[in-house]
């Protein structure tokens, strides 16, 4: 039994190292405390709401979020805007609908059931407006990057003047956390860029953290429910395992063999 556990531990240690090494280039990302990590990790509501503000005022002019609906903003485990707030947010967007009875397309104010309005009609239009680079959809962006939240958080703060000897084309910027260091997105954040409704100082660091938290929720809207259920499930399993262990000892005590 002992050697068995030793083997399992070794195996997991091995698996762990081999996955981390999947990312080819090692860069030390900037670290910050994420409230949603750990056994009981939850989102910071204020941070999510501020993050949404940064997303709409800054990111959303180029980046779509096609898998989210306005109703999600009021759902449990998310930014938890009130229904009225979410309705007002939705209504502030023009949504293309139709065809109507006359066969015409028309625009109307957004509703809770609408998906987030996209900044461009399609990928080609997005590329044309951004020097050929498609600003990736942000719905699952955090999960689609090796470094996850730390990577996004660092990238937003990673703009620097290029080191001597590196020349950049027009519309290409230097970022020390970007794969290959060349990025087509210009530095978007500057201190005081947005005015937070709750009075928080909008430093670059603060905005990076808020918007990254928001992106994490966008990618994993059920994260809180998952953590809650996970804790209950594991506690339940541990208790059951203990009970079964003692029953097993009892049953096997009928014969002279160790289990």
In the complex, minimum distance from the CB of residue 221 to another protein, in angstroms, rounded to a whole number: 6
The Cα-based distances of 87 to 73, 113, 149, 167, 215 in angstroms read 9, 10, 29, 48, 21
In the complex, minimum distance from the CB of residue 6 to another protein, in angstroms, rounded to a whole number: 12
Q: Identify which of residues 42 and 94 has a Cβ nearer to another protein in the complex.
A: 42
Q: Identify which of residues 24 and 101 has a Cβ nearer to another protein in the complex.
A: 24
In the complex, minimum distance from the CB of residue 18 to another protein, in angstroms, rounded to a whole number: 5
Determine the length of the chain.
Answer: 259
Distance CA 54, CA 134 (A): 20
Helix (H), strand (E) at residue 206? helix 204-219
Distance CA 46, CA 79 (A): 7
In the complex, minimum distance from the CB of residue 220 to another protein, in angstroms, rounded to a whole number: 8
In the complex, minimum distance from the CB of residue 219 to another protein, in angstroms, rounded to a whole number: 8
Q: Identify which of residues 4 and 101 has a Cβ nearer to another protein in the complex.
A: 4
Distance CA 145, CA 86 (A): 29
Q: Identify which of residues 77 and 206 has a Cβ nearer to another protein in the complex.
A: 77
Q: Identify which of residues 72 and 206 has a Cβ nearer to another protein in the complex.
A: 72
Which of 223, 226, 219 minimizes the C-alpha distance to 67?
219
Note the residues at the interface with another protein (CB under 8 A): 1, 4, 8, 11, 14-15, 18-19, 21-22, 24, 39, 67, 72, 136, 139-140, 143-146, 148, 179, 219-222, 226-227, 229-231, 233-234, 237-238, 240-241, 244-245, 247-248, 251-252, 255-259
Phi-psi region of 132 (alpha: psi -120 to 50; beta: other; left: phi over 0): left
């Amino acid at each position: 039994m002992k050697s068995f556990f030793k083997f399992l531990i070794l195996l997991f240690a091995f698996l762990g190292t081999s996955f981390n090494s999947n990312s080819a280039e090692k860069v030390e990302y900037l670290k910050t405390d994420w409230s949603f990590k750990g056994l009981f990790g939850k989102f910071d509501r204020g941070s999510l709401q501020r993050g949404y503000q940064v997303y709409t005022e800054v990111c959303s002019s180029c980046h779509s979020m096609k898998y989210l609906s306005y109703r999600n903003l009021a759902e449990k485990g998310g930014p938890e805007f009130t229904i009225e707030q979410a309705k007002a947010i939705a209504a502030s967007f023009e949504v293309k609908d139709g065809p109507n009875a006359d066969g015409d397309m028309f625009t109307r104010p957004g509703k809770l059931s609408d998906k987030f309005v996209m900044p461009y009609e399609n990928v080609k239009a997005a590329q044309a407006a951004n020097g050929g680079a498609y600003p990736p959809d942000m719905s699952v962006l955090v999960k689609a990057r090796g470094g996850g939240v730390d990577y996004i958080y660092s990238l937003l703060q990673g703009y620097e003047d290029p080191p001597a000897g590196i020349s950049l084309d027009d519309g290409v910027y230097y970022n020390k956390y970007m794969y290959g260091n060349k990025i087509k997105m210009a530095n978007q954040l500057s201190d005081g860029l947005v005015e937070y409704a709750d009075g928080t100082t909008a430093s670059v660091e603060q905005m990076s953290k808020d918007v990254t938290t928001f992106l994490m929720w966008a990618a994993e809207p059920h994260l809180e429910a998952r953590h809650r259920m996970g804790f209950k499930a594991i506690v339940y399993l541990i208790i059951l395992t203990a009970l079964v262990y003692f029953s097993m000892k009892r049953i096997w005590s009928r014969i002279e063999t160790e289990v």
